[in-house]
Structures are given as structure tokens and as C-alpha cells.
Amino acid sequence: MKILVLPGDGIGPEITSATLAVLDRANSLFKLGLEWQREEIGLATLRKEGTTLPLRVLEAARASSGVILGPLSTYEYPPRDQGGINPSAEFRTKLDLYANIRPAKSRLGVGLTGKPVDLVIYRENTEGFYADRNMHVGIGEFMPTEDMALAVRRVTAKCCERIARRALEAAMTRRRKVTAVHKANVFRISDGLYLREVRKVAKDFPGVQLEEVIVDAMAALLLRDPMRFDVIVAENMYGDILSDEASELSGGLGLGGSINAGDDHCVAQAQHGSAPDIAGKDRANPSSLILSAAMLLEWLGGRGAALAAAAKSIDAAVDAALKDPATRTADLGGKLGTQEFAAAVAAKLARAS
Ligand code: NAD
């Protein structure tokens, strides 16, 4: 199976090489038969080819079994007509990666509040407020006069239905509870449509409890009582913001894995950005991308039990490395560099007996 590897910008190359160190070990230990195809994107190809996402890379992603995507310095990209394409947004729309799945699980025994967290956010990934992906032609943000800016949010029954279904299916394998986040008290029509679809899908899952929480209350409740939540389903922007909060609660932004999944394609992508402030210093924590890669293996798990076993083993190895203060990175008060941490995780990989 061919996996496309795109290191990206900032700390991307460092955390990607750390992730490959772990995957290489898993590949040989579990005989996964994975092959890496490396390609450049982002600021590297902008300089050489005038675009942050060459068409051949998009085609390679379409042809691959899965993609490992490093973070991107999208804030530094020029406008689209000058080559600044957000590869992450482009993959989400062109490969129809409609579910951004972001688990948050306490890994160090202590989170920010000292309370345990074990939840997963199902974030709609292809529409909502995201102006760079919510229009068929053009972008959903425009400026009628120099002192007025408008942004349009798209909400469709189809996209609400499918993210709700994936969330409810996931709940069947967990604590059988789904929390639907919304702001229907203000966005009565658009979030009203979203809630209508979630409720409709929930009828197919009578064994799952559905709770509805307004997004601002949700931000507070997550801090107050994180274990109240198990599977959270949210539109694009609510899910983006709440997943950073949940990730931070579980121990830090550098810790949560994340995949962008559709019916046919899956892209593993860290939850955090390109962290230009620490790029090139071997100080980044690669856990998020390593755990994202493990989630990709789990997503591919239907193609062989070894993939699912390798995913479990990587998750357990990251847990074990993070638990020990001697094998932590600087963001968690530890002494290990990015590559040393990856070596520690790789050394802890084991086949279940
Ligand atoms: P960021 O997530 O890159 O960084 C926020 C803070 O967290 C920084 O202090 C950073 O050093 C720290 N941090 C992030 N990841 C870390 C890690 N793995 N280990 C240790 N510390 C880590 O967010 P930002 O500074 O707002 O954005 C920087 C750039 O990333 C921008 O260009 C933004 O557009 C882009 N971005 C990209 C993605 C993506 O590719 N998916 C997501 C968010 C932001």
C-alpha cells in the first residue's frame, strides 16, 4: 500500500520524519507492507513551482491508500491567484474528506484541569463558515466596499446528515452518547437545519442518547465536566475551536491525533499548526502527527488485522512514552528532542502476544 507523505511547513519536516521513524518500525514489526511516497508542498513548492499545491500532488493523493500531511503555514501563503492554495482545504473538498475526527484523551494522568478527558469530536469538514471551501466557484468571503466585509456560511442537509451518521456510528463503539453542538438560538435557520438532520439520523440509533448543547455553554461545560462528553458532533468552526480546547484539556495541543476521512480517502494531519516559533529547533512534540498516523492505520484496518493492531500498539507506545517524565518533550517539561522522543516511542512498540 502506498502512503503519500507531505512534510509541509514550519515544524512539519521534523515531526514528519519523527512519525516515519515510528511507522518504519511498525511496518517491519507488523509486516504491514507500507511504502512511502514523499512529495513537497507548501512554501517549498511555492518557491520552486509557484504553487503551494502542485496538481501532481493532488493526483498522487487521490491515487494513494492514505496521506500523512504535515502542518502548513497557511497564514503566510499569498492569495490563491498567486499560488497560495491551502492544501488541507483542497484535500478536504477534492477528496471529499467530510469528517474531521479528533479524539482528546488524557494521556499524562493530568490534564489542564486535572480532570480526566476521553472524548472524540466529529467535525464537519467541507462547508460551514470556511470561506475557502464552502463555494462551488469563488470564495464565501467578499468586500462590497473598502469598509465592509461579508462572510457566508453554507449548511446543507447532506453534509449534516453524513457527519451525524459517522458520529452516531462511533458512539455505538463507545459510551453510546452523542452531544450535538449548535447555536440554533441565533442561527435558527442554518443550525436549525443541522439539528433537524442530526435528530433524523439519531432515530436510526435508538440505543444512543442524543443531547443538544449550545456552543458557548459547551466551551464552559467542557472545562467543568469533560467526562460528561463522549462523542461530540459539530459544524466546521465550532468543531475546530472546541477540539483545540479539548486537546489542551487532555494535556496539550501537541497531543491530539486527527484524521480527515471520507468514504474513499483519509488524510492524517496533526491538530496543531506549523509552530514557526520553534521550527528547526528539534523542540516540537511529534505526538499529534504520530497519533494521527495511527488513526490512519486504524481507518485502513479493514484491509488487514495487522494495520489495526499496529495502530493500537503505536497509541499505547505514545501513552507509555508520555507517562514517563524521562521521555517527554520540552512542551511537557521534558528534555527529549523531537527525534529522540520518536525513537523512544518506536522502541516501545510491541506486538500483542
Ligand atoms: P500553532 O498550532 O502552530 O502554534 C500555537 C502554539 O503552540 C505555538 O506556541 C507553538 O509553538 C505551539 N505548538 C504547536 N504545535 C506544537 C508541537 N507539536 N509541539 C510543541 N509546541 C507546539 O498555531 P499558530 O501559531 O496560530 O499558527 C502557525 C501557522 O500554522 C499559521 O500559518 C497558521 O495558519 C498555521 N496553521 C496550520 C494548521 C494546519 O496545517 N492544519 C492548523 C492551524 C494553524
**Ligand 1 binding pocket, CB closer than 6 Å:** 71-76, 88, 253-254, 269, 272-278, 284-285, 288, 331
Ligand 1 atom with the smallest distance to the CA of 276 is: 28
Output the residue whose Cα is nearest ligand 1's atom 13: 275
Instruction: Write out the H or E segment, with its range, that includes residue 143.
Output: strand 141-145
Residue type (1 letter), 157: A
348 is a catalytic site residue: no
Set 9, 240, 315, 348: catalytic member: 240
Banded pLDDT at 109 (limits 50, 70, 90): low
244 is a catalytic site residue: yes
Taking only Cα atoms into account, the Rg of the chain, rounded to an integer number of angstroms, comes to: 20
pLDDT at 254: 74
| For residue 353, pLDDT beyond 60 | no
The residue that leads in pLDDT, 331 or 169, is 169
| For residue 115, pLDDT beyond 90 | no
The rounded distance, in Å, linking the Cα atoms of 154 and 291 is 31
The rounded distance, in Å, linking the Cα atoms of 320 and 26 is 16
pLDDT digits (tens, 9 = 90+) for 287-345: 999 999 999 999 998 778 999 999 999 999 999 999 899 999 998 889 999 999 999 99
CA atoms within 13 A on the CB side of 121: 30
Output the residue whose Cα is nearest ligand 1's atom 21: 284
Task: Compute the distance from residue 76 Cα to the ligand 1 centre, in Å.
Answer: 12
| For residue 271, pLDDT beyond 70 | yes
177 is a catalytic site residue: no
Set 130, 191, 315, 348: catalytic member: 130
Contact yes or no for 19/66 (Cβ under 8 A): no
pLDDT at 133: 84
Banded pLDDT at 165 (limits 50, 70, 90): very high
| For residue 112, pLDDT beyond 70 | no
Task: Compute the distance from residue 190 Cα to the ligand 1 centre, in Å.
Answer: 30
In the 8-state DSSP scheme, what is residue 108? S
- Out of 11, 43, 72, 272, give the residue to mutate to test ligand 1, the one with the largest number of ligand atoms within 8 Å of its CB: 272
The rounded distance, in Å, linking the Cα atoms of 272 and 208 is 31
305-323 vs 12-29: helix axis angle to the nearest 10? Answer: 120
Nearest alpha-carbon partner for 67 in 96, 38, 107, 24:
38
Task: Compute the distance from residue 274 Cα to the ligand 1 centre, in Å.
Answer: 4
Which of 106-120, 144-158, 179-193, 280-294 comes out lowest in average pLDDT?
A: 106-120
Mean pLDDT for 279-285 is 96
pLDDT at 1: 93
pLDDT digits (tens, 9 = 90+) for 208-250: 999 999 999 999 999 999 999 999 999 999 999 999 999 888 8
pLDDT digits (tens, 9 = 90+) for 16-43: 999 999 999 999 999 999 999 999 999 9
| For residue 111, pLDDT beyond 70 | no
77 is a catalytic site residue: no
pLDDT at 136: 87
pLDDT at 110: 58
In the 8-state DSSP scheme, what is residue 214? E
| Average pLDDT for the chain | 94
Output the residue whose Cα is nearest ligand 1's atom 23: 273
Task: Compute the distance from residue 270 Cα to the ligand 1 centre, in Å.
Answer: 10
Contact yes or no for 89/70 (Cβ under 8 A): no
Output the residue whose Cα is nearest ligand 1's atom 36: 273
**Which grid coordinates are listed for 171?**
458512539
pLDDT at 352: 63
What does each C-alpha distance from 282 to 237, 278, 330, 341, 344 come to in angstroms?
A: 31, 8, 10, 10, 15
Dihedral angle sign, alpha carbons of residues 206, 217, 122, 258: negative
183 is a catalytic site residue: yes
Dihedral angle sign, alpha carbons of residues 122, 123, 124, 128: positive
pLDDT at 196: 98
